[in-house]
Amino acid sequence: MEHLLSPEHRAFRDELRSFVEREIPKNVARAAEAAGPDYPLHLFDKLARAGYHATAVPTEYGGHGADMLTQLIQARELARSLAGMVWIWGMTSFAGANSIGLYGTEAQKREFLPRIARGDMRVTIGFTEPGGGTDVLGAMTTTAQKVSGGWVVNGVKKWCTSAHVSDRILLLARTDKDVQRKSDGVTLFLLDPKSEGVSLEALSPLGMRGLGTFLMELRDVFVPDDMVVGEPGRAWRMLLPTLTNERVLVLGTCTGILDGVLEDALAYVSTREAFGRRLGDLQAVQHHVANIAIAQYQTELIAYEAARRADAGEDTFMAVTMGKIIASEHAAAGADLGIQVMGGQGYSTETDMQRYWRDARLMRFSPVNNEMARNLVAERLGLARSF
Ligand SMILES: Cc1cc2nc3c(=O)[nH]c(=O)nc-3n(C[C@H](O)[C@H](O)[C@H](O)COP(=O)(O)OP(=O)(O)OC[C@H]3O[C@@H](n4cnc5c(N)ncnc54)[C@H](O)[C@@H]3O)c2cc1C
């Protein structure tokens, strides 16, 4: 599929691939994940030194202003070694660079975007609540009340990834209950998690372990007026490009996971022997490996197409929504087959296959679950809204 990439995209990919092989090879990735919720700051810093936090930041604020295809490539190459690396860069990129770049004030852009580009700042996202992440607006109990000079926030957010090392949380809170549609009356804030009244409790997820993810309680937390992002009350309508950016990174993550799965499965079945033959000589094993390659091929195609549409300014809704379903289901099924052909070794923490599976499994229900994504596809096809 090289022809889908320009010479510049190929050069970017090749440079990043050698960076990952040199700086974040799979044994380093494995150790970072095994360290649990400590967060691999050293890996964040490696990306900073190499300039990869600047990828999506607009050039006028010190970034590279890269297109969506470049961001997709970055996610893919990082995920080939460690899917969590995508979010070590990508969380700040889509939640910070994208949202501040699109809806921030000039002062916010000047304050935050150069810091993001330099790798001096981390941003995460606080949308989901204990009451639910799919019906995020219906479940939302977090409120922000206007006071002199700012807002007072109360509520609880769940699964706030890397909140313990973040400088700002892109927080969604209800600022007006008196609305006809629940998508109205919600506002985005850049909340400092070190503010008085914020407390974090570590959660223990199956995958993406190295990032750390938290239950975050907010008790009378003051957020100044200049930390509101965009127009108060209209956050939900603004967020579409940010969520599209996130979906493209998910597509890159799934493609990268499948790259890792395929190369590890191939390497294993090419050397391991059973009944006097290499595993890779057995037809059933070959079919499993072929199915992984087919999944990778389809995922790569849909991922490139989604990024191409985004860069061409075309409607991306179906491409990213259907793409997210295809990519996450292929990545989880591909990693599952990878475990199958590697047997006990695939299930062992000595190898990466089980980690690929754990990380891929998340993508089937997050950031949006595949049932809800199918609802959205059906609605776009003209069927009645089912939720
Ligand atoms: C490791 C990890 C990291 C995360 N990081 C973040 C983060 O940084 N910030 C953040 O805000 N959130 C984060 N999340 C939250 C994530 O986005 C949610 O888990 C996801 O949106 C699903 O919400 P839920 O878990 O509340 O499931 P629910 O909303 O309770 O849904 C459960 C299941 O019900 C089904 N379902 C729900 N609604 C429908 C429907 N309308 N039609 C059909 N089926 C339906 C689906 O099968 C769904 O998987 C993270 C989650 C995890 C596990």
Mutate to test the pocket of ligand 1, among 134, 186, 361 (most ligand atoms within 8 A of CB): 134
- Residue 187: strand pairing partners: 173
Atom of ligand 1 nearest to the CA of 128: 11
- Please give the full DSSP string across 19-61, using - where no structure is assigned: HHHHHS-HHHHHHHHHTGGG--HHHHHHHHHTTGGGTTS-GGG
- CA distances, 221 to each of 129, 140, 147, 198 (Å): 17, 17, 12, 7
Ligand 1 closest atom vs CA 134: 29
Cβ of 360 less than 6 Å from ligand 1: no
Q: Is 162 in the pocket of ligand 1 (CB under 6 A)?
A: no
Q: What is the pLDDT of residue 191?
A: 98
pLDDT number for residue 258: 98
Mutate to test the pocket of ligand 1, among 125, 189, 208, 366 (most ligand atoms within 8 A of CB): 366
Residue 36, pLDDT score: 74
Instruction: Please give the average pLDDT of every successive group of 10 residues along the chain, which has 387 residues.
Output: 93 98 94 85 97 98 98 98 95 96 97 98 98 96 98 98 98 97 97 98 94 97 98 94 96 98 98 97 98 98 97 97 98 98 97 97 98 98 97
Residue 16: partners with Cβ closer than 8 Å, 6 or more residues away: 52, 73, 74, 77, 78
User: Going by CA atoms, what residue is nearest to atom 43 of ligand 1?
Assistant: 371
What are the backbone angles phi and psi of residue 187, rounded to the nearest 5°?
A: -135, 150
Q: How far is CA 28 from CA 43, 206, 341, 361, in A?
A: 9, 19, 24, 22
The pLDDT, as a whole number, for residue 37 is: 77
Beta bridge partners of 24: none
Phi, psi of 320 (to 5 degrees): -80, -30
Of the candidates 289, 272, 269, 291, which has an alpha carbon nearest to the alpha carbon of residue 280? 269
Residue 384 pLDDT: 97
Q: Which residue among 365, 374, 375 is best mutated to probe the pocket of ligand 1, counting the most ligand atoms within 8 A of its Cβ?
A: 365
Domains, in order of start, for the chain: 2-122 (1.10.540.10), 125-234 (2.40.110.10), 238-380 (1.20.140.10)
Binding site membership of 371 for ligand 1 (Cβ less than 6 Å): yes
Ligand 1 geometric centre to CA of 369 (Å): 6
pLDDT of res. 34: 84
| Atom 30 of ligand 1, nearest CA residue | 132
Residue 182's nearest CA partner among 138, 144, 141, 142 is: 138
Ligand 1 near 321 CB (within 6 A): no
Residues 6+ away with beta carbon under 8 Å from 335 = 257, 261, 353, 356, 357, 360, 361
Report the interhelical angle of 240-271 vs 83-91 (nearest 10°): 160
- Ranges of H-type helices in 82-212: 83-91, 99-103, 106-118, 136-139
Query: For 145-182, b where at least 16 C-beta lie within 10 A, e where not — what string?
Result: eeeeebbbbbbbbbbbbbbbbbbbbbbbbbbeeeeeee
- End-to-end Cα, the chain, rounded Å: 38
pLDDT given at position 1: 82
pLDDT at 2: 87
